[in-house]
Amino acid sequence: MKFSAILLALVSTVVAQSASIAYPQDGASFAAGSEFTLMIIKPNSLTASQEISAAIDIISCNDATLRKTLSSGPLDPQYSTPPGSLPPHQNFTLQIPPNFSAGKAQISVSRSYRIGVSLLLCLPFNT
């Protein structure tokens, strides 16, 4: 399995109280078909906010019409145990579609929440 040069662009909206992607990080590379863990963290916030659900999509950077939903379901970040080591977070185990075209791709996390927040990062991987 060969991996070529990787460029990861983080196109993240930084908004107070917004969630962010803690992993994968810049430079992450995955083979098509492989599983990876996506960790969403939600910083400690001053006001309670209720998470509803999140859709996690992968979108090819070369072909925006190539888009697959990897996960869709409740988003409910939890404190780690013991508390204090991590901010509230949630791990998702996702699989890159086996036939997804090689190259850079974005992972889009869209939350259903009072304020729509979309996080995009370019996640390169190779077949």
Is 98 within 8 Å of 34 (Cβ atoms)?
no
* Binding positions for ligand NAG, rule: CB under 6 A: 39, 66, 78, 80, 91, 99, 101
Residue identified by tokens 């995009």 is 120
Q: Which two tokens stand for residue 95?
A: 């699989």
Nearer to ligand NAG, 17 or 60 (CB): 60
Nearer to ligand NAG, 8 or 22 (CB): 22
Is 18 within 8 Å of 77 (Cβ atoms)?
no
Nearer to ligand NAG, 55 or 66 (CB): 66
What are the residues whose beta carbons fall under 8 Å from the beta carbon of 61, sequence distance 6 or more?
A: 103, 104, 105, 106, 122
Shortest Cβ distance from residue 29 to ligand NAG (Å)? 18
Shortest Cβ distance from residue 33 to ligand NAG (Å)? 11
Shortest Cβ distance from residue 90 to ligand NAG (Å)? 7
